[in-house]
Amino acid sequence: MSVTLASAESTPFEIAQAETPADAHETPADAHAAQPAGEVHTETGVAHGEEAGSGVFPPFDQTTFASQLLWLAITFGLFYLLMSKVVIPRIGGILETRHDRIAQDLDEASRLKAEADAAIAAYEQDLASARTKGNAIASAARDEAKAKADAERAKIEASLQDKIAGAETRIAEIKAKALADVGTIAEETTTALVEQLIGSKATKAEIASAVKSVAGK
C-alpha cells in the first residue's frame, strides 16, 4: 500500500527522468572521444587525430609555401591586369578630362581678361574724349562769355561816352549862359558903381569894353 501511494505522489517530471536511459546523459565531449581515431572530421576536412597536431599558423606553414606562392602570383597577376586595364585607364581619363577642363577654364579666363582689358581701354578712351570735349565746351563757353562781356562793356562805354558828351555839351551851354549872365550882371553892377562914384552914367559900350578887358585878364 505504501509503494502505491509513493508512486501516485511522484510528478510527471520525476517519472520521465526515471524512464530516461543512462546513455542519454553523455556529453558531446564523450561522444567526440568515442569516435574512432582515424575518422576525418566532416566540417574541417582534417583527421581527428591531426586537429591539434601542430600549432603553426597556416600562412607560416612551410608545407604550403608552394601553393601560397602560386596563389600570390595569380593574385598579383590579376591585380596587375585589373590596374593596367581598368583602374589606370580610368584614372588617366579622369586626369585628361580635368586637364582639358582646366585648359578650357584658363582659356576662358584669358578671354575674359582680354575683354575686361579692352573694356577698360575703351572706358579710358571715352573718358579722355569726354574730358577733351568738356574742356572744349568750357573754353567755348568762356570765350563766348568773354565776348558777350566785352560787347556789353563796349556798349556801356559807348553809352557813357554819349552821356558824358551830352553832359559836357549841357555844361558848356550852362557855362556860356552863366558867363553871359555874369557879363550882364557885371555891366549892370559896373554901371551902378560908376553912377555912385562919379555921379554920372557911362555908356554901355564903355562899360562892356571895361568888363571884357577885366575878364580877359
Q: What is the mean pLDDT of the chain?
A: 74
Give tens-digit pLDDT for 31-86: 444 444 444 444 444 444 444 445 777 777 778 888 888 999 999 999 999 998 88
Under 8 Å between Cβ of 183 and 211: yes
For 80-135, the pLDDT digits (tens) are 999 988 899 999 899 999 999 999 999 999 999 999 999 999 999 999 999 999 99
The phi and psi torsions of 61 (rounded to 5 degrees) equal -75, 120
Give the residue with greater pLDDT, 25 vs 60: 60
How many CB atoms are located within 10 Å of the residue 207 CB? 19
Between residues 58 and 158, the one the model is more confident about: 158
The three cell numbers locating residue 1 = 500500500
More confident residue, 124 or 5: 124
Q: How confident is the model at residue 136 (pLDDT cuts 50, 70, 90)?
A: very high
Q: What is the pLDDT of residue 216?
A: 57
Model confidence band, residue 172 (pLDDT cutoffs 50, 70, 90)? confident
CA pair distance 65, 59, nearest whole angstrom = 8
Supply 97's cell numbers.
Answer: 578630362
Ranking 57-61, 125-129, 153-157, 161-165 by mean pLDDT, the lowest is 57-61
Question: How far is residue 117 from each of residues 18, 113, 210, measured CA to CA in Å?
Answer: 108, 6, 103
Cα(7)–Cα(55) distance, integer angstroms: 57
Overall average pLDDT of the 6-13 stretch: 43
Per-residue confidence (pLDDT) for residue 168, from 0 to 100:
87
CA distances from 37 to 18, 23, 28, 48, 52 (A): 34, 21, 16, 6, 13
Confidence of residue 21 (pLDDT cuts 50, 70, 90): very low
- What is residue 54's predicted lDDT score, i.e. its pLDDT? 56
Q: What percent of the chain has pLDDT over 90?
A: 32
Q: Is 40 helix (H, G, I), strand (E, B) or coil?
A: strand
Residue 35 corresponds to which amino acid?
Q
pLDDT of residue 182: 67
pLDDT confidence of residue 110: 93
**Pick from 217, 163, 210: nearest CA to 188:** 210
Residue 200 binned pLDDT confidence (cut-offs 50, 70, 90) = low
> Hey, which residues does 47 pair with through a beta bridge?
40
pLDDT on residue 214:
64
Question: Quick one: what percent of the chain has pLDDT higher than 70?
Answer: 61
